[in-house]
Amino acid sequence: MVDLSYGYVNARVKAMKCCLLDEETLRGLFSVSTLSEYIDMLENTTYKQSFVDASTREEGIKLVMAALRMESDKTIAKIKRMIPDNGKERLNSLISLWELKPLQVILAAKASSLPVDPLYIDFLDVAGKEKAKVLMDAPDFGKALQALSSVGYKAISIKAYAEYSRSKDFRVALRMIGRHYYENISDFAKKEPDHEVRHILQAELDFFNTSTALRLRNAGVDERGIHKELVKPSAASLAMQIAKCGDTASAVALIEKSFKLPGLSAAYAESKNIWEVELMLERRMFSRILKETRISVLSLGAIFGYIFLKRREIANLRAIALSLQFPSRDAFRKSVYTLKGDVGASG
């Protein structure tokens, strides 16, 4: 959908996308051994002001989390200032699609009786933060689950609470909420007029369905059981093909063939671990999203895609910072990759 009013903001977003961290910076961050070194490195990037501001009130890991939270807030605020008036409502609707994810994090913490630090909850706009506070103020998981009803999620709140009351298993309720997130993505994508935005949303949904099918196949769930867990997949989708595979090795071979990734099956045969296959699927998702931001010039697609990529970059930085708290960082290293240029591994 071509809209000349997006010309200026797309040019600004293109410049902002160029400031996403490159592979060299991520490698440098992985080479540090302390949070002080990590902070020093990021203060030489576009994250500098957020870290300077956070240092006036926090220290250590909380400083890092506060700075990353500030950076996400600034990203949303900057985009909202630039967006043409005729796109503000649509952008708000797109951003609100993501809010169920951090709300689910809050619910998971409540289920484990853990305190919820707002510094770890990001990429929420003002309305999203108000909803998060309602859940954080709830005394326990059950009350927080019911509180979802008062912040715009009445239908899933009622269903999830009823299931939790019956089973006493919070994991079932959390899975229902996670599935509802992707159902919202699917419904929004079908109604979305912007071609690029629709493809970005579909990329996220395809990743969920494909990785879910792979996990369930690996767990020995039958085809019918896999179908029940997928969210509105097309009959010809990769997820549906994986569901028909007889075992995990066949599913990995299908993924290898579909994406032309020689060596994937051999790597799985050696490790018997699907984690790296899932990571490859996630990289493919972000590669699709990056492609859409390049195609979209005079529409909302490039703007929405940039926010999507920035969310992942901040998740990368959070993972690296948290990895400094543990003796081994190998798993974290494999899960972090650059989003600038062609998406690829950082280590």
pLDDT at 51: 97
Residue 337 pairs in a beta bridge with: 345
What are the phi and psi torsion angles at 281 (to 5°)?
A: -65, -40
For residue 280, the surrounding DSSP H or E stretch is helix 275-295
Does the predicted model carry a pTM greater than 0.75? yes
114-118, 139-143, 173-177: least confident range: 114-118
At 253-264, the pLDDT tens digits run: 999 999 998 999
More confident residue, 312 or 1: 312
Residue 345 pairs in a beta bridge with: 337
Residue 121 structure tokens = 């909850």
Q: What is the mean predicted confidence (pLDDT) over 219-247?
A: 96
| Structural contact between residues 97 and 186, judged by C-beta atoms closer than 8 angstroms | no
pLDDT at 172: 95
At 121-155, the pLDDT tens digits run: 878 888 999 999 999 999 999 999 999 999 999 99
| Structural contact between residues 32 and 106, judged by C-beta atoms closer than 8 angstroms | no
Model confidence at 329, pLDDT cuts 50, 70, 90, reads low
Residue 205 structure tokens = 């949904």
Cα–Cα distances (Å) from 181 to 18, 59, 93, 144, in that order, read: 30, 34, 14, 17
What rounded mean pLDDT belongs to the chain? 89
| Structural contact between residues 23 and 338, judged by C-beta atoms closer than 8 angstroms | yes
Residue 30 structure tokens = 């992985």
54-68, 116-130, 190-204, 291-305: least confident range: 291-305
